[in-house]
Amino acid sequence: MGLLVTNARVLTLGMGHNPPYPRRGKAMSRLEIIPSGEVFIESGRITHVGEAGSYQGDVEDGIDADGRVLMPAFVDPHTHACFAGDRLDEWEKKLAGATYLEILEAGGGIMSTVRATREAMQQQLVLLLKRRLDAMMREGTTTVEVKSGYGLTTQSEIKMLRSIEEAAKTWPGTVVPTACIGHAMDPAQDDFDERTIHETLQSVHASFPYVAIDAYCEQSAWSFEDCARLFEEAIRLGHPFRVHTDQFNELGMTRWAIEHGALSVDHLEATSPEELERVAKSATMGVILPASGFHTDQRYADGRAFIDAGGALALATNFNPGSAPTLSMPMAIALATRFCGLTIPEAIVASTVNGAALLGLHDRGMIAEGKRADLILLRHRDERQLAYQFGGNPVEVVICEGDIIHGA
């Protein structure tokens, strides 16, 4: 016996028995809705999806959705949720007119969080991350990618990755770590880039041999040449890689990344139309982070052009203390539909099944038999409200691996 959710507007995202991973182009508009449906969950898995009243087996527990939307839980595939300290003083400087890059060049930005994170004990980082993961869960996110990158020494980066690993063990959802060891250049360390490539990367490889490697390619951060050298060594060691690229300036890393098999290129606010089309036609996924534009310079990636070119797009919060202080995937959806050109169905696909595909988790992100039962029941009876309303939590019930975590 298990849990039956009935009388729901079910957004299955199923697309038949062998749906494509990830969804591309026009396929991102297909939600495959059952207007009045039900879903049965047993032993953490979905075992039945159909019209309301179609399930005939035994039921231990039940939820009457009363016409509300049942959909896959959110997957947030790009966050920096492991850190100590805050950046409130810098935010006030930004409000007074300082730009993000000016703050970074003055020794603030990422480096201010690096200093606080280095000083924090591992258990403090674990506690802070667990609190943030719990807040994400309440807003419907059950799968989260969390990057290191606020250590920038071998010891501190390993400390961050171990903190992420430890926090994940007691959280009901799924945490996927990424080693963002190229997050910034530390001006206090001589030959920092060489030490990162030949010392930190080697230590990460020894302790976390399959983790993805990430870097931030931008002025006052990692140059094109340094990113290329870091990723070439990561590839040699067998690591997949992702890259922050074209947030403020187009430096050429986007093309290099797709030519060398990057899992994703993330940001893309400054990417030219020609490069967007090149990414869209490649095997590399694009990831848009509209909360960054909202909080920094009001520039947004052209998600519309990317999808129209046949691209596979994921949406993420980019949660971090500097450029995107939000844990909310519903807020990211609201921004993506307003400023990146996504339709509501596209934003839902980008925040569920495509995020899961990027993280290599093909057992979630849709409502289909055999899939992991990570689901959310919205307060709304129309999924368009998910993007239309902003600033509140639209999630009534969170189900994670078949267990009701919040609500009901």
Residues 264 and 369 in one domain: no
* Residue 122 sits in the same domain as residue 220: yes
Q: What is the pLDDT of residues 383-402, one digit of tens each?
A: 999 999 999 999 999 999 99
pLDDT of residue 283: 97
For the residues 193-221, what does the mean pLDDT come to?
97
> What's the CATH code of the domain at 51?
2.30.40.10
Confidence of residue 58 (pLDDT cuts 50, 70, 90): confident
97 shares a domain with 179: yes
Task: Report the alpha-carbon distance of residue 233 to residue 201 in Å, rounded.
Answer: 8
Mean model confidence pLDDT for the chain: 95
Q: Give the residue among 156, 209, 29, 137 at the shortest CA–CA distance from 404.
A: 137
- Cross-strand partners of 354: none
| Domain match, 59 and 101 both | no
Q: Please check whether residues 67 and 102 belong to one and the same domain.
A: no
Q: Is residue 120 within 8 Å of 162, Cβ to Cβ?
A: no
Predicted structure pTM score: 0.96
User: Is the pLDDT assigned to residue 406 strictly greater than 80?
Assistant: yes
Domain that holds residue 162: 75-358
Specify whether 47 is located in the same domain as 187: no
Are 150 and 278 in a shared domain?
yes
Q: What is the mean pLDDT of residues 260-287?
A: 98
Left, alpha or beta for 13 (phi > 0: left; psi -120 to 50: alpha)? left
Domain total for the chain?
Answer: 2
Q: What angle do CA 191, 85, 82 make, to 5 degrees?
A: 75
Same domain as 33, residue 21: yes
Average pLDDT over residues 102-108: 74
Backbone dihedral angles phi then psi of residue 212, each to the nearest 5 degrees: -70, 145
What's the whole-number mean pLDDT along residues 51-64? 90
**CATH label of the domain that carries residue 344:** 3.20.20.140
SS3 193: helix
List, for residues 82-97, the tens digit of each pLDDT value. Answer: 999 998 988 888 888 8
Question: pLDDT per residue over 311-351, tens digit each?
Answer: 999 999 999 999 999 999 999 999 999 999 999 999 999 99
Beta pairing partners, 287:
266, 314
287 and 308 co-located in one domain: yes
Of 358, 376, 398, which one is at a domain's C-terminal end? 358
Helix H or strand E encompassing 141? strand 141-147
Per the CB < 8 A criterion, the answer to whether 240 and 260 are in contact is: no
Give the pLDDT of residue 109: 80
The pLDDT of residue 1 is 67
Q: Residue 247 carries which DSSP code?
A: S
116/183 Cα distance (integer angstroms): 15
What does R_g of the chain's alpha carbons equal in angstroms? Answer: 21
Query: pLDDT tens digit string along 131-180?
Result: 999 999 999 999 999 999 999 999 999 999 999 999 999 999 999 999 99
The answer on 337 and 283 residing in a single domain is yes
- Quote the pLDDT of residue 265: 98
Do 45 and 112 belong together in one domain?
A: no
Banded model confidence at residue 273, pLDDT cuts 50, 70, 90: very high
Separation of first and last alpha carbons in the chain: 18
- The whole-number pLDDT of residue 229 equals 98
Contact 285, 306 (CB under 8 A): no
Find the mean pLDDT for residues 283-289: 98
Whether residue 189 sits in one domain with residue 56 = no
Looking at 74-83, 93-102, 223-232, 241-250, which range is the least confident one?
93-102
Asked if 73 and 140 count as a contact pair (C-beta separation under 8 A), the reply is: yes
